[in-house]
Structure 1
Amino acid sequence: MLQAVSHGAPENTLDSSAKEDSPASLEAFLAGIGTRAFRFAEVGLRQRDDALDAVQDAMMKMLAYQDRPASEWTPLFWSILRRRIIDMQRRRRFRLTWLSAEPQHEDGGTIEWADDGPDPSRTHDGREGYAHLAAALGGLPTRQREAFTLRVLEELDVATTARAMGCSEGAVKTHLSRAREALQRKLEDWR
């Protein structure tokens, strides 16, 4: 089930199966959303292994909802994954507080992607661009990062994003607006 996630190669285009209104099965839905879910979790958790665990846990929890209509799978999956990421962040903070006398900073290591492009300079530019975007997204407050990722990168509509985030549509619009402004400021220097 995690095959699409574990190879770590970037997608140049979005999976068509993830964009269909009704995938053939829950397995097809999960296979189509796996890589994007991993990226979302990796930005939130900043550690590859934790991101893989979070996505796998969310996918396992989705199996309990396979009898639900396919139209409910997308917001339900993103909501489950988001809550799993928040739980993992809380546990990490709790462990750091109790296990260390000094606060520790997350390492923020670089994200390496497999070189599958025919043009090395284009591949390098793509990796560099993604690394800058991931770093800028990682610097946003959680709700802004979630709103941006779900609305812009996942192309969910406002209502679906609001259901996934557990907030109002107005809150989604506010978080998204603030995220866009912050990302624009952060990414202006990179261009």
Structure 2
Amino acid sequence: MATEQELSDFLKSVDKRAFKRALYHVRNEESALDIVQDSMMKLAEHYGDKPVAELPMLFQRILTNCTLDWFRRQKTRNAVFTNLGDFEGPDDDGSGFDLLEVHSGVPEGEAVQSAEDIVRRQQVLHSIETEIQALPARQREAFLMRYWEEMDVAETAAAMGCSEGSVKTHCFRAVQALSRALKAKGITL
């Protein structure tokens, strides 16, 4: 059974990754923040009494469902208000999210990178981020859960509501597509 502090620590540990995952899907910072906040509230409200070990899986499933709910609401809103334009303004491309903030720390004992290395790294990260956004939704979801959230195949399958074979297929196709796209840009990892 998770204590209040354990639940709080868990939510702090997943907030940036959850935001980034939601942002990849909805491509709007405000909407992504709303989805993550809604997911966290639902986890705390409905599953806060579950063991700490179950929280990551429950949260991933809730985040997926909240994202799908957002798309359903958008579809309904767009069907009803097609002639009234966009209520939320132009789509945010996520450029306000500083990917380097997450990846910029220099591990202890390593030399500080040159400005050229930092710019090169920033360009590579931007290219990777762009290519991840270009993946089909299910491939992107499977890829992010497996390699960003470090979930195993069974956990990813349960969170996505599909078979383990589907997860493997989505991940394989995502990795192949990313590899081809990055290779075409001259980026090798």
TM-score past 0.5 threshold: yes
Cross-structure match for 2:73? 91
Q: Offset of 1:108 from its aligned partner?
A: 5.8
Distance in 1 between residues matched to 2:120 and 2:176, nearest whole Å: 23
Asked if residue 137 in structure 1 is aligned to residue 132 in structure 2, the reply is yes
2:25 maps to which of 40, 44, 55: 44
Q: Offset of 1:141 from its aligned partner?
A: 1.5
State, as a whole percentage, how many aligned pairs show the same letter.
38
Q: Offset of 1:138 from its aligned partner?
A: 1.6
Aligned residues: 169
1:184 maps to which of 172, 175, 179: 179
Distance in 2 between residues matched to 1:111 and 1:82, nearest whole Å: 23
CA RMSD of aligned residues (A): 2.7
| 1:19-58 equivalent positions in 2, closer than 5 A | 25-58=6-39
Q: Offset of 1:77 from its aligned partner?
A: 0.3
Q: Offset of 1:69 from its aligned partner?
A: 1.4
Relative to structure 2, which stretch is displaced further, 30-39 or 131-140?
131-140
Q: Offset of 1:107 from its aligned partner?
A: 4.0
Larger radius of gyration: 2
Cross-structure match for 1:172? 167
**TM-score between the two structures when normalised by the length of structure 2:** 0.78
Q: Offset of 1:110 from its aligned partner?
A: 4.7
Q: Offset of 1:162 from its aligned partner?
A: 1.1
Distance in 1 between residues matched to 2:32 and 2:99, nearest whole Å: 18
Q: Offset of 1:168 from its aligned partner?
A: 1.3
Distance in 2 between residues matched to 1:83 and 1:76, nearest whole Å: 11
Distance in 2 between residues matched to 1:24 and 1:59, nearest whole Å: 14
Asked whether the equivalents of residues 58 and 81 of structure 1 are also in contact (C-alpha less than 8 Å), the reply is yes
Cross-structure match for 1:128? 123
**TM-score between the two structures when normalised by the length of structure 1:** 0.77
Quickly say closer, same or farther: Cα 1:115–1:147, change in 2 above 3 A.
Answer: closer
